[in-house]
Structure 1
Amino acid sequence: MTFKELKHFLGEINVKVDDLYAEKLFNECDTSHSKTLEGSEIEEFYKRLTYRNEIEVIYSKYASSKGKMSVEDLGNFLRMEQREDVGLNEAVALIQKYELDEAAKEKKLMSRDGFLMYLQSSDGLVLNPTHTLVYQDMSQPLNHYFISSSHNTYLMEDQLKGPSSTEAYVRALTKGCRCVELDCWDGPNGDPVIYHGYTLTSKILFKDVIRTVKEYAFKNSEYPVVLSLETHCSMDQQKVMAHHMKTILGSMLLTAPLGGKMPTHFPSPEQLKGKILVKGKKLQSREHSMTSPESLQGEEEESVSEEDEAADLPEEKGMPKKSKLKLARELSDLVVFCKSVHFPGFETARETQAFYEMSSFGESKAFKLAQESANRFVIHNTRQLSRTYPRGTRTDSSNYNPVDLWNAGCQIVALNFQTSDKSMDLNQGKFQQNGFSGYILKPRFMRDGQTQFNPTSIMQGEWLTPKKLHVMIISGQQLPKVNKNKNNSIVDPLVRIEISGVPRDVCSAETEHIEDNGFNPSWNKNFQFDICVPELALVRFVVEDHDTASRNDFVAQYTLPFMSLQNGYRHVPLLTKEGNPIASSSIFVHIMVVDQ
């Protein structure tokens, strides 16, 4: 590697250095005086380049055994800095797991390299590793959980002319989604198709989607999947839909209440493991047949009107007038615990609705209720399931902020999974806890039918457990370039911390930017935040490339629940805009959560 090649290499790894400094570093490492770096000289250069003074300071503070950390030293660090309640056995286990030097490991010592390996491992990350497993009670009724949910799942892009694909279902299901949507229309040759009605989006066969769901439903999570049907098909093709679901899904498809008798409340995710539920319209008389089969005699098909997204679309020329659809008995029979009904108002719902009757709310209606009747919405959702979806005018497949609807207890807050934005960051961040299972148990105060919790007006109650969050943004490691094709593409990074949750907790703060260094920027900036309802709060770390002339460019982000934060010196692993990990890229922070 010549000096010229070295300069190019530094630009490639997102760091701009002064020519004099780069030449000095080059000459110090060129011990052979050959005007090139080879083998061990390159290794020495990279060691100097990646040297992290902040790690050295922390390590030196605790390493009292001839410049290395003993078991006792490491135990002290874990208790004092990381606030972990551990003994010597746990410290020994970490040395065995992360120490690279066999001689040090034999003596139960941890070197600087081993210490850095620990800090960059899952044990040293900001997300509590126990929360990466299913740790919550999964035996509560289904409506006591937030459920990761997708809107217009079949779309890869926009709502007007973008492609539909079974691949979109694969993406959603592998991202932990547990409720997918199927817009079903009459297709050629008597086979139903899925697409966005009255638009130029491409069409896919209903049966191909069902096959895809069967293959991918339980690859990442064993907990139930809900098929949210929006049916615009003729009676004949509704029967074909029912046939495809029964023959393709087989025993996965839930076609009757567990034990054959309709309970008085939802079964739990645990009881429904490996099951696929259908959400849709249901014939009234078929519903009664669960308890009284003789009522089926003389049954007629009933008219059922659609109440979902299609109702939100503005009527245009050439668009057929909305007509009442007849519902096929075969399709009706597949709806057990998720019967779609029109929302009659909170009072009427409380007095007349069965627990399995659920309503879908367009974004505008949902936000209005969440703002003006928040407590009543929360109470409604202690008994019923609620689904919300983006308004029909979001033709670019953009998303609303899901947090306010989670705050109102809505379980199925459907988002456009095909769109990478802050809303999807929040969704992925919220659902990465509990083993990425797609189900998160609501806080106790949101499961109590008498709750007085109101997210828009926080009063005294069990939800009010104020915490002070202290965050020090220390440094960044190997941040990605924003534009790899530009010559002058080295980032000027800044970090912003965003708190989402009840309105009272929403806030943000950011560091100053660092000029021309995406490789190892250093900020050492302290922030503090007051959080009054920590069980509903999310913390988002955003890295941006500062630009004085235009909007800052997004570089990377990471979002996690407040309750999943680990105290102490932690690395925050960074994700792309699409939510995928960026190898070796992180920010180093110190976290301290204190009761107020």
Structure 2
Amino acid sequence: RTFCEFLDKLLAPLSLLTCPCVLLAKENKLLSKDGFLMYMHHPEALVLNPDHREVYQDMDQPLNHYFISSSHNTYLMEDQLQGPSSTEAYVRALLKGCRCVELDCWDGSEGEPEIYHGYTLTSKILFKDAIKAIKEYAFKTSDYPVILSLENHCSVEQQEVMAHHMSSILGSDLVTSPLGDGMPKCFPSPEELKGKFLIKGKRLNKLEATFAPDNTEDEEEDVTEEEESDDEDQEQEKKKEKKKLKLAKALSDMVVYCKSVHFHGFEDARQHLSFYEMSSFKENKALELAAESANAYIHHNVEKLSRIYPAGSRTNSSNYSPVPLWSAGCQVVALNFQTTCTDMDVNQGRFLINGKSGYVLKPAYMRDPASEFDPVTLTRGDWLQHKTLHIMVISGQQLPKLSKKKSSIVDPLVRVEVYGVPDDNAEAKTSAIDNNGFNPEWNENMEFNVHVPELALVRFTVEDHDSATSNEFVGQYTLPFNSLRMGYRHVPLLNKNGDVLPSAGLFVYIMVTDAN
């Protein structure tokens, strides 16, 4: 009955047609050819599980039990050396579902703090303008909390201005004290923090001290950990800042659940750091830890938050692969959102699900303090669910021209990639079809072994084949392995900016079987 009601809605646009075959199909609750084609392009028939388009995961777990969509140097529109800074960059990231944005804060003229990339020629924007833009667009795409990651280089006076702006603009939506009564023992959940802003930054003392009768404040605090661990080519400039950064109490008190601290090893963190004290890792250090101490990293992230950021050498705002860091349980894997690339596509694919909320619940074995999971060695455990992914790439539809010339026609091929733990990384491609972007047909089969499906993603890419130079990108679609729907499915295509290419897509057949 439900399916018949669905068909009635689906076939309603055909009600004006008087073709005998259409009338006969409607009368007998059957699908005509036109009805079938409409159905195959309907959201219910797409490759993405429709249930995963909405928030379907448990959102009542502690905040650190989720992967969090995160941006690096969010204010930049282009490169890291001389590119423009703009509040529009914050708007774009937030509308893409980003839940952690970065603000590099420096003393500005007329007592107003500014945001820009220090020691470079990037343009500047006012701190208060960035906060206003964040306030306006923070919850347009997702209702779940936004983390403001502060890299603070300001004087105490302008830090007080920063605190004033955040307090007056964000108002009661800004979390300035722990939820509930007494000292918390773990993070609140995304559900509890809906519509709220959290500040990540330095704090003068431990949060526990605010609940102690002899509450005292230190007078000064070290530079931020991201500044200290940046690349050597910037060290000489930064050594000019001989004195320690003094911290305004008003700004310090706004840091509740995300206190920035230096990382001195997993054992030191386990013994001396509270759950809310989080470290930032440059990508190279994080990737080294993920490769050599993955299980220890996972245990660290069961209790605490970790933020990863691109190396300073990426002056063109290029990105790194977030996949190995997710496999080590890292939550805040920050990318340059302004850069279109495969890594950003994979990032958006990870957060395509769960209502595009920017929060994706980590697998149970990455939330277990006793977990033995290691993505590199793949010891036996519940995480091993060896599957075989069978894909037949059947055809494509309405693939766009890459040149404005009327004679321009693509020579399309399809590349399918699996991203996940090292043993699951694989790719295959079809042959190229000459001069046919309208309705190319391949009918080619591919097969992939996937050992840890909960961490795997699948990426479909259409390229314009060129035998003389590298292939050109036409469109792509990335989604989590466990969000694939089996059977004959339509795969929509997105352009470099992540926008849907109208009418363009792939027609595929998908089957997942137990490899054992």
TMscore range, shorter length: over 0.9
Identify which of 34, 42, 57 aligns with 1:121: 42
CA–CA distance in structure 2, aligned partners of residues 303 and 404 of structure 1: 33
Q: 2:435 aligns with which of 516, 532, 535?
A: 516
Task: Check conservation: 2:351, 2:360, Cα contact below 8 A.
Answer: yes
The alpha carbon displacement at 1:108 in A equals: 2.0
For the 8 Å contact 1:126–1:571, the answer to whether it is kept is yes
The alpha-carbon deviation at position 101 of structure 1 amounts to 3.4
Q: How many angstroms does 1:483 deviate by? A: 1.6
Q: 1:431 to 1:231 in 2, by over 3 A?
A: same
Rg (Cα) greater in structure: 1
Q: Give the match for residue 487 of structure 2.
A: 568
Alignment correspondent of 1:507: 426
Kept in 2: contact 1:176–1:220 (CA 8 A): yes
Q: In 2, distance between residues paired with 1:504 and 1:252?
A: 44
- Listed one character per residue, the Cα deviations across residues 294-340 of structure 1 (whole Å, up to 9, x for unaligned) are 423xx452232221146414237766624320111110000000000
1:536 aligns with 2:448: no
User: Do 1:572 and 1:587's aligned partners in 2 also have CA atoms closer than 8 Å?
Assistant: yes
Deviation (angstroms), 1:439: 0.2
- Cα pair 2:103 2:149 within 8 Å, conserved: yes
CA 1:282–1:316 in 2, change beyond 3 Å: closer, same or farther?
closer
Aligned to 1:215: 136
**What are the superposed Cα offsets for residues 31-85 of structure 1, whole Å, 9 maximum, x if unpaired?**
xxxxxxxxxxxxxxxxxxxxxxxxxxxxxxxxxxxxxxxxxxxxxxxxxxxxxxx
Q: Which residue of 2 aligns with 1:203?
A: 124
Deviations 1:472-495 (A, max 9, x none): 0000000011122x4542110000
Query: What corresponds to 1:384 in structure 2?
Result: 304
Q: How far apart are the structure 2 equivalents of 1:503 and 1:318?
A: 39
TM-superposed deviation, 1:166: 0.2
Partner of 1:31: none
In 1, Cα distance between the equivalents of 2:5 and 2:432?
Answer: 39
Report the Cα distance in structure 2 between the residues aligned to 1:206 and 1:368, rounded to whole angstroms. 35
Between the aligned partners of 1:398 and 1:261, the Cα distance in structure 2 is: 44
Q: Structure 1 488/293 Cα, relative in aligned 2: closer, same or farther at 3 Å?
A: farther
Deviations 1:233-260, CA, capped at 9 Å, x for gaps: 0000001000100011001100000024
1:494-553: CA deviation from partner (whole Å, max 9, x where unpaired): 000000000000000000000000110000001111100000000000100110111011
Report if aligned partners of 1:309, 1:392 keep a CA contact under 8 Å in 2: no
Task: Please say if 1:273 is aligned against 2:194.
Answer: yes
Matches within 5 A, 1:400-415: 400-415=320-335
Counterparts of residues 223-238 of structure 1 (less than 5 Å): 223-238=144-159
Whether the 8 Å CA contact 1:101–1:111 is kept in 2: the answer is no
> Residues 335-376 of structure 1, C-alpha deviation per residue, up to 9 Å, x if partnerless?
000000001201111111100000000011000100110110
Equivalent in the alignment of 2:107: 186
Contact 2:72 2:335 in 1 (8 A): yes
Task: Tell me which amino acid in the other structure corresponds to 2:326.
Answer: W
Match of 1:446 in 2: 366
1:578 deviates by 1.0
Are the equivalent residues in 2 in contact too, given 1:309–1:362 (CA < 8 A)?
no
- Sequence identity (%): 63
Q: Secondary structure at the match of 1:360?
A: strand
Q: Which runs of 5 or more structure 1 residues have no equivalent in the other structure?
A: 1-88
Q: Is the 8 A contact 1:94 1:118 kept in 2?
A: no
The match for 1:92 is 4
Q: Are residue 433 (structure 1) and residue 346 (structure 2) matched?
A: no
Q: What is residue 144 of structure 1 aligned with on the other side?
A: 65
CA distance in 2, matches of 1:101, 1:397: 49
Q: Equivalent residue of 1:583, what SS?
A: strand
Runs (4 or more) in structure 1 with deviation over 4 Å come to: 316-320
Matches within 5 A, 1:249-268: 249-268=170-189
Mark the CA change 1:459 to 1:311 in structure 2 (over 3 Å): closer, same or farther. closer
What displacement does 1:293 show? 4.7
Q: 1:581 aligns with which of 497, 500, 504?
A: 500
Count of aligned pairs between the two proteins: 504
The offset of 1:230, in angstroms, is 0.2
* In structure 2, C-alpha distance between the alignment counterparts of 1:567 and 1:530, rounded to whole Å: 16
1:115, distance to aligned residue in structure 2 (A): 1.1
Over 3 Å counting, the alpha-carbon distance change for 1:516 and 1:226 in structure 2 is same
Given that 2:224 and 2:260 are in contact with CA atoms closer than 8 Å, whether structure 1 keeps it comes out as no
Partner SS, residue 256 of structure 2: strand
Other structure's SS at 2:371 match: coil
Within-5 A mapping of 1:309-324? 309=227, 311-313=229-231, 314-315=233-234, 321-323=240-242, 324=244
Matched, 1:290 2:195: no
Structure 2 Cα separation of the partners of residues 114 and 581 of structure 1: 23
| Contact 1:153 1:417 (8 Å CA) reproduced | yes
Q: Is 1:483 paired with 2:396?
A: no
Q: CA deviation at 1:390?
A: 0.3
TM-aligned CA deviation for residue 131 of structure 1: 0.2
CA contact (8 A) 1:382 1:446 kept: yes
1:525 aligns with 2:421: no
Question: Match of 1:258, SS?
Answer: coil
Cα distance in structure 2, aligned partners of 1:376 and 1:318: 35
